[in-house]
Chains A and B, each alone.
Chain A
Amino acid sequence: MKASAFSYARATSVGNALELLAAHGDGAKVLSGGQSLMPAMNLRLISPELLIDIGDLGELRGIALARGTLRIGALARHVELLNSPEIAAHAPLLTEAIAHVAHPAIRNRGTLGGSLAHADPASELPACMLALNATIIVRGQAGERRIAAADFFTGIYETALSADELLIAVELPTASKDSLHFFHEFARRHGDYAIVGLAAQAIMRGRMFADLRIALFAVGDRPVLAAAAARLTGIAITPELLSETAAALAGELDPQEDQQASADMRRHLAKVLLVRGVSTLLGRPELAGVLA
């Protein structure tokens, strides 16, 4: 399939991009990495009148550490995140998760901002933002807004971003030295969209979780920060507790049914991921079999 015809504008500044967005509204689409936009356009699933290419905007690049916060520009490519020493040091969950995003050629072009704005419920990075308690910074002609990740993802391909706003950057609190992370997804083939995935960020106090953020993806119309994780903090974890928590987690989820899995299967796999994740974080392999 060949994309339908469109006009093309190379934005010269963020302001210029915002002008164009304001002028064209729904008729315009932002082109950053293009790894989600272009397949949709090639399949003629969408036919915008105008593509606004923000690829030249240096202001949107960069990964910087300042005052205990890691700021990542929206145009940071997946491969840059993967290879970034700052991210490896301060948000290693991301380093691990990015390796699961598609394949090298896609990661060389796809951007963090693009992935978050696209908000595919089966993708890795939105869930990582939840687990990392990220703040998503967007800008419109009226000014900037800071949106907590927990409030940003509102549905399938839907976010709190309005049609005339641009996602500018993401800010993450840096991981403390007691932090641990866990990431895993079940996918039929390497690089495929997950059937179910889990991104977890924990702060340990001794052998207990002082804080535990567990974000699941491909389990519904948006990534889910598991409320059930609260059951596991500040308490010694027994097989029974873990098993109950898994059941509670399954109860929180309203997964979609599709060609890869039924809703029941997704709930089941979410439980398996929770159990395997907690067992790994605690370094207690005997917990991994509680669902058997």
Chain B
Amino acid sequence: MLIDSIIMAVHPSVLLLIALGTVFGAIIGALPGFSSVMAISLLLPVVYPMDPLLGLLVLGSIYMGAMYGDANAAILLNIPGTASALPTTFDGFPMAQQGRAREAMLAALAGSVFGGAVGVLVLMMTFGVLAEFSLRFGPQEYFWLTVLGLTTIAALSEGNLVKGLAGGGLGIAISMIGLDPYWGMPRFTFDAPPLVAGIHLIPALLGLFCVAQVLSSLESPAGDRRPPEVGRQKDALRKVLGTMVRRWDVMVRSSAIGVLIGMLPGAGGPIASTISYNETRRWDRDSRSFGTGRVEGVFASETANNAMVGGSLIPMMALGIPGNVNAAVILGALLSFGMRPGMSLISDGTGIATAFMIGLLISSLLLAPLAYFIIIRLSILVLRVPRTYLAPTILIFASVGAYSVTNSSYGVAIMAALGIGGYALRRIGIHAAPVGLGLILGPIAEREFTSSLLIAQAQGSYWTLVMRPISLVLVALCLLSIMTPLLLSMRDRMRKRRLAPDSEKQQ
């Protein structure tokens, strides 16, 4: 039976389609303002009349490719191609600035391949069992999960915890503009009609990361000449593979986190990559250096967000409950081909579902050659362009991307406002990353908190917010996350005082 599915999956026409889908997905993922969901939906009309296996694999490979592609813009331009690549910017962009762009991109690729493959393998092997576990996550667990993600802010802002947390709070505050999640009424909109729609995420991220970055780059004259050779980094591949093997713990942990969080309906890519980044940093010997260009940071983020692909399909295929919107669209296609979620998928005798999963595995593995020979080459070219031409062009791309989300200049307005505002904030020490995290995780945190509160009130006890097995574990992790940087910086301060009691206070 399995053999039949494998034979189906390696048929040349299937392989070709997987390759095309993966590349297409990678390109779409790299374009800020575009998500894999948009790409998948564009292709739905094309997919319907197709053979079920081909149709599902087109969608699946685009999904997989996009979760890799979003890393390239993150590394080269400090713009996360999709929100899931946000943590990739934390170390990826510094690496690029140090001339190690090739290493970063290869790490992103290696991580994506590894994570993607692991995610699909877990999907194939555990199918029913894990799906049941994912249902045990209720609003309380989701809330603590987002809090855990937000504590990453503390980790990133070790230099200045106060400003970092304030930035995060500001991000959450901005995300609250729009409709109230419970009453459905407009709030914080100051009677301005466009604001009722809220501050759309992608234009906001484009502003915070892309526009602010461009403005920042204009502070120093660099201009017309081509930037110095990026450093051929001939040994980049060897270095990356070596790190991957040496740090197998990072790879395994990130994959596990990616799959686990992918399984939780509604949790999504950004949470997976953020928590993976945080945990990798936590368990590292030299955690202070994260954010300055640690390749492990890139591994953590990218491995997790590709492992999430397989993870999100677990509850979708086993229970009919998709892990995120991408999985939901694929579920729609699955249903339209006459297939039903559940154990019947693998026992219905057609072997299509199994072939689909094998095809996804192939997609993640194909990323390696496809990206290496095509995409990374193309991306490096971007670095060679003199800043004079690069800066305005990036702004145009970002503007179009922002426009496309809202189909009106509202998106561009958001981008410009957050871009200029974000730049100003950067000058006073509040960086884009904490604000971005607040923007992404804030709405989820609020919704889940409100639901948890309602349930607690109905059951008459506020203990339910915390006194649940999974929640307790998560709360403990949160406390650890905040305490560690605090304790470390206090220890540093004491050390400094002991060594040089006459030196003036720092900061």
Do A and B come from the same complex?
Answer: no
